[in-house]
Amino acid sequence: MTELATLPTWRDEAWRYADFDALKAVWPDIAGQREAISVAPGETERRTIVLETADPNVAVKTLAVTIGKGARFDLHCLAIAADYGRIAVEVVLEEGAHFELGGAILGMGSQTLEIVTEVRHEHPNATSNQVVRSVLGGRATGSFLGKVAVARHAQKTDAAQSVKAMLLDRTATANAKPELEIFADDVKCAHGATVGELDKAALFYMASRGIPPGEARRLMMQAFIADAFVSMADDAEREAMEAKALAALEAMQ
């Protein structure tokens, strides 16, 4: 994610699914806005981000994180309320550090929401785990662009990405783009992506037990996005995130 003074275009890899019309309204004000976070060696830090509505209704949050030796950084985010919402995270891992990402994208109408990460394993034995779940309806677009870069000497790197999207309407769009750049030879980099719809057989099964269609859909969507928050260490924080996600899901029905 290079710093761009001029408005990015779809040719910029990290911006290829962005809503540029919406972005114009806040550019270049947000161009240089990035929050730097440095986690000291051995420490653990946690952060949650919820993209809320703004004026104009564009929310862009950019983090640059350095995770020290043996340290851990947990980021959990929810992209819900914006015409254009973007969470971009650049992470550099020191030796034995861990980065955990759990993200949910819930979009409807003509929203464009995205989570863009660049995780740099620059030293040995670091691990990263990224889980992103999207539920999209209407003409919404939800994207996850996840780049993992492993430096030549960053042996025993273990990086995982799991990206799943559920489309409620055929007019919604999900993009899942893993990008791996690996220069070390003893590493494990796993990535998986699926795009699907609500399971009709399961909906009928639930209906046959008396659960009304709206509640059945909500239960299934709730279970689907819960994967993004299971790694939250603080129960109260996780419940708060789940409650916000649930409210957004209910608005989508």
Nearer to another protein, 36 or 207 (CB): 207
For 122-134, give the DSSP string.
-STT-EEEEEEEE
For 154-191, give the DSSP string.
-TT-EEEEEEEEEESSTT-EEEEEEEEEE--SS-EEEE
CB of 210 to another protein, least distance (A): 4
Output the CA–CA distances (angstroms, integers) from residue 102 to 55, 57, 86, 117, 253, in the order listed: 26, 24, 15, 12, 24
CB of 106 to another protein, least distance (A): 16
Alpha-carbon dihedral angle through residues 121, 69, 78, 135, given to the nearest 10 degrees: 40
CB of 219 to another protein, least distance (A): 5
Q: Which residue has the tokens 């709730």?
A: 222
Residues engaged in binding another protein (CB under 8 A): 199-202, 204-213, 215-216, 219-220, 222-224, 226-227
| Terminal C-alpha separation, the chain | 35
CB of 147 to another protein, least distance (A): 28
Nearer to another protein, 28 or 196 (CB): 196
Nearer to another protein, 10 or 205 (CB): 205
Q: Which residue has the tokens 């973007």?
A: 86
Nearer to another protein, 65 or 232 (CB): 232
Number of H helices, E strands in the chain: 4, 12
CB of 237 to another protein, least distance (A): 20
Nearer to another protein, 25 or 226 (CB): 226
Taken in order 76, 184, 143, 55, the sign of the CA dihedral is positive
CB of 130 to another protein, least distance (A): 19
Contact 165, 137 (CB under 8 A): no
Nearer to another protein, 91 or 206 (CB): 206
